[in-house]
Amino acid sequence: MGALKVGIAGLGTVGSAVVNMLASAKEQLAERAGRSIELVAFASKDPPRDPSIDLSKLKQAADPLSLAKDPGIDVFVELMGGEGDPAKAAVEAALSAGRSVVTANKALIAKHGNALARLAEKHNAAFAFEAAVAGGIPVVKTLREGLGGAKISRVAGIMNGTCNFILTSMQKEGRSFQDALKEAQQRGYAEADPTFDIGGFDTAHKLAILTSLAFGTEIDVEAIHIEGIESISLADLIAADQLGYRVKLLGVAERTEAGIEQRVHPTMVPKGTVIAEIDGVLNAVSIKSDALELTLVGPGAGGPATSSAVVADLVDLASGRRSHALGRATANLAKPKRAAIQRHEGGYYIRLAAVDRPGTMAAIAKAMAAEKISLESIVQRHANSRPHGGDDPKLAASPAPVILITYATTEDAVRRAIAAIEKDGVLAELPQVIRIEKS
């Protein structure tokens, strides 16, 4: 066979790294694929992030859509990002022309992956996206091809390096959330507007893809319960450490009797477990099945990690290895049965800023008992109290932190209990609730 001819749209950090890898490892890639992989064209509205790459021998397309329709390429590599156009229009154009697509665009897949997978099947084109989830960790290939007939019951992990860096910095260096975020931005781990990362939305997009691959369902990003890490304080991390936990932002998808539960939120995980010890910008994904349990760990973002995943997809295409985009024919993907977060069962960490006055603890205990919530531990730290001022709330004692660790209970029960405590007027601040995972 002749060379696999590639056109690439987007020459940012990842795109530049892909160009470099295809050039520097050309002979090695040809040996692995059985044919050469040749970059022949590109489209980019901006100069390449790496100014040292040589584009002089490549054809420059006027725009991504023109490149996607170019009959001179076999594969369209989309590295622009974004769930809408021009990425969406260009990918659709390439697939409609029977041209295979490789992308790292998790937002596009989470939003339009079902339709794009159907389009790829209709026109006998491949749609590959290993680089869209967890960078250099081959979790897509593992779920799609590597577990044989194993029945997967749970997929969970750290899927956003920005959040993991911030939480690690807070926990190990005693930084505030804002200080840790500022350092992440200075190091290039966080964007100027970090909402997409710290709000949990990036993790949700990745989780939606993994859920489809793990459970044979259509992608259903709208079903995911999403919480970010903005409310996590240093006090929570200190308390977690004292209680034997670490706090991580996890994406979790699991099969339950009520359906497929998908959630993204800060989570307390026991010290000593693999997930608890993943620090900095590393990612980790754990897969539990009836046959085995495994955890994949590695860099989740950045040029070298993500470009290696893009190039790995190109090697598969050059070799003639092709799989259904979502692990099976789209006609065989089930409509996911959603399990509401209110049905979730597990342990909870609850931090209350309780007003230091008679009857406060009784009100808290009454609310918990009413919902049949059993408490594993109660930690009350006395505040620096001022003298009580009778009925004047301005002169009342300072709030006293009260930390509750529950045994397994339901989300609904916890929320009802907290609402009752708030109604009693014994809290000075909004409560903090963090779910606990035992593994």
Model pLDDT, residue 198? 97
Instruction: State which H helix or E strand residue 64 sits in.
Output: helix 64-68
d(CA 95, CA 39): 19
Distance, in Å, from the CA atom of 253 to the CA atom of 133, rounded to the nearest integer, reads 15
215-218 contact pairs (CB < 8 A, 24+) = 215/152, 215/253, 215/255, 215/260, 215/334, 215/336, 216/327, 216/328, 216/332, 216/333, 216/334, 217/260, 217/333, 217/334, 217/335, 217/336, 218/114, 218/326, 218/330, 218/333, 218/334, 218/335, 218/336
Give how far Cα 428 sits from Cα of 233, 366, 423, Å.
16, 18, 12
Considering the entire predicted model, what is its pTM?
0.92
CB atoms within 10 A of CB 27: 9
Q: Rounded distance, CA 192 to CA 182, Å? A: 9
Tokens 């009836």, residue located: 290
End-to-end CA distance of the chain: 48
Helices (H), 216-345: 234-243, 303-319
Say which of 88, 206, 248, 288 is annotated catalytic. Answer: 206
Is 206 assigned a catalytic role? yes
Q: For residue 320, how far is the Cα from the chain centroid?
A: 30
- Listed as ranges, residues in the chain with pLDDT below 70 are 381-398, 439
Arch. (CATH architecture) of 4-132: 3-Layer(aba) Sandwich (3.40)
3-state secondary structure of 395: helix
Structure tokens at 363: 């009100």
Are the C-beta atoms of 403 and 349 separated by less than 8 Å? yes
C-alpha closest to that of 345 among 407, 429, 285, 272: 407
Domain 344-436 sits in CATH at: 3.30.70.260
Extents of the domains making up the chain: 4-132, 146-299, 344-436
CA angle 204, 208, 209 (to 5 degrees): 125
CA dist 249 and 230 (Å) reads 11
Task: Say how many C-beta atoms besides its own lie within 10 A of residue 257's C-beta.
Answer: 6
How buried is residue 14: exposed, middle or buried, by Cβ count under 10 Å (0-12/13-18/19+)? buried
User: pLDDT digits over 376-431, tens only?
Assistant: 999 886 655 443 444 444 444 568 889 999 999 999 999 999 999 999 999 999 99
Residue 358, pLDDT score: 86
Strands 282-289 and 152-158: antiparallel
Query: What are the beta bridge partners of residue 255?
Result: 260
Domain 146-299 is classified in which CATH homologous superfamily?
A: Dihydrodipicolinate Reductase; domain 2 (3.30.360.10)
In 216-278 the beta strands, taken as DSSP E runs, fall at 225-226, 245-256, 259-270
